Copies of this chain bind each other. A is one copy, B any other.
């Protein structure tokens, strides 16, 4: 992990901070599909994503899991950043969507830098704030939108993230939107009928709105 690369990923930090991070952090890699964080697990370090994409779920014993958000390069996991304030074991599941690389920061350092580096402090707050906004957004969708709108929004985000060729099964989409596979199949079929998408096996192609 090079200094230059780090500065690129996190452009808003102060000078001394980069060096400290490089020194204190452990560089890790993992292959697609790996579970990075299990619910109930004690969190000892925080994650800064270097490359790849991570998916975060909220786990619940009774009702299953709930998709929270993606983590991308240059972002940090808000949950692990502040989870030690009460020694809590956050009920979160993190999975690598692609092959990934990340820096693991010991929580003691996270804490130490808060006082030492203003930019780190802001980074933490900003991370939290943006996640908060995202959650509000999600709530808004669930509370006010119907499934067809949510699905379209979901697909559009996938397109923005990985291009017009969406490699997801109906099952996976249904899981992310907390509904059943049949409902998704139904709505996708309708969207195909409306010329928004093309349905292939294991994948969907976004062709957008005509006119």
CB of A85, distance to nearest CB on chain B (Å) = 6
Segment of A14-22, A40-48, A139-147 in the binding face: A139-147
CB of A70, distance to nearest CB on chain B (Å) = 16
Given contacts A82-B129, A85-B122, A131-B132, contact A139 B139 (CB under 8 A): yes
CB-based nearest B residue for A58: B136
Report the separation of the CA atoms of residues A115 and B142 in the bound assembly, to the nearest whole angstrom. 38
Report the separation of the CA atoms of residues A78 and B63 in the bound assembly, to the nearest whole angstrom. 28
Query: Which of A126, A143, A144 has the largest number of chain B CB atoms within 10 A?
Result: A143
Residues of chain B lying within 8 A (CB to CB) of residue A159: none
Residues of chain B lying within 8 A (CB to CB) of residue A143: 66, 142, 178
Report the separation of the CA atoms of residues A78 and B132 in the bound assembly, to the nearest whole angstrom. 10
| Contact (Cβ within 8 A) B85 A140 | no
A118 within 8 A of B: yes
Given contacts A128-B128, A132-B131, contact A142 B144 (CB under 8 A): no
Given contacts A132-B128, A132-B132, A135-B135, contact A140 B60 (CB under 8 A): yes
Residues of chain B lying within 8 A (CB to CB) of residue A139: 58, 66, 135, 138-139, 142
Report the separation of the CA atoms of residues A114 and B126 in the bound assembly, to the nearest whole angstrom. 14
Residues of chain B lying within 8 A (CB to CB) of residue A178: 143-144
Taking a contact as CB atoms closer than 8 A, the residue among B58, B85, B126, B144 that contacts A63 in the complex is B144
A55 within 8 A of B: no
Listed by A's residue number, 13 A-B pairs whose Cβ atoms lie within 8 Å are: A63-B140, A78-B132, A82-B129, A85-B129, A114-B121, A115-B115, A115-B118, A124-B125, A125-B125, A128-B129, A132-B135, A135-B136, A139-B139
Given contacts A68-B136, A82-B128, 9 further A-B contacts (CB under 8 A): A64-B144, A82-B129, A85-B125, A115-B115, A125-B128, A132-B135, A135-B135, A139-B142, A144-B178
